[in-house]
Amino acid sequence: MMALALRRETIEKFQKEFEKDPKNRLAQNVCTKIDLKDLCQKRASAHLNHVVSHKVDVEGRPPTNQKVTGQCWLFACLNAIRVPVMRHLQLEELEFSTAYLFFWDKIERSNYFLNNVVEMWRRGEPVEGRLFSFLLREPLEDGGQWHMVHNLVAKHGLVPKQCYPESASSEASRRFSQLLTSK
């Protein structure tokens, strides 16, 4: 299979096209601050009451909270490297942005998926066949391993959470992934 890498020039072209339409800025702001399911269904959001009964001291502040994401693999890997980086840089607090890597993970997975679709089409695979069926079952599922984080960091780097904060979609990734793959 000949995979087409997602090149920086292509990303910049997409970004320029996106930024041409002022409605995209509005949509982007809304989608990063509001849960996509609430946006689509216009229903009242549930109020959660979290009761804490114990305090646990943590090494590496602030403590991270993956909420209802499918990003435990990102949180685990970033937490594993966070404390050594904090010690090396003599920082009292540091939190890497999982939302930043989540974004690039979805972009890279989408590119991989589309390359597979193109390759299967070139080979003449039937759309109703087993290979397409398997590929379409969960084209952008959550989850990953250490080598996937390594590849994302090597290609796209790391940023502090203050520079790339969480969004409603990154905090509830299942809904985001379902909407991405629903069409």
Residues with catalytic function: 72
Alpha-carbon distances of 135 from 71, 127, 183, rounded to whole Å: 21, 10, 14
Place of tokens 């069409």: 183
How far apart are alpha carbons 90 and 55 in whole angstroms? 25
96 pairs with which residues across the strands?
Answer: 160
The values of phi and psi at residue 116, to 5°, are: -65, -40
Please enumerate in sequence order all residues whose Cβ is within 8 A of that of 49, keeping only pairs 6 or more positions apart, or say none. Answer: none
How far apart are alpha carbons 146 and 137 in whole angstroms? 24
Residue 90 zone, left/alpha/beta (φ > 0; ψ -120 to 50; rest):
left
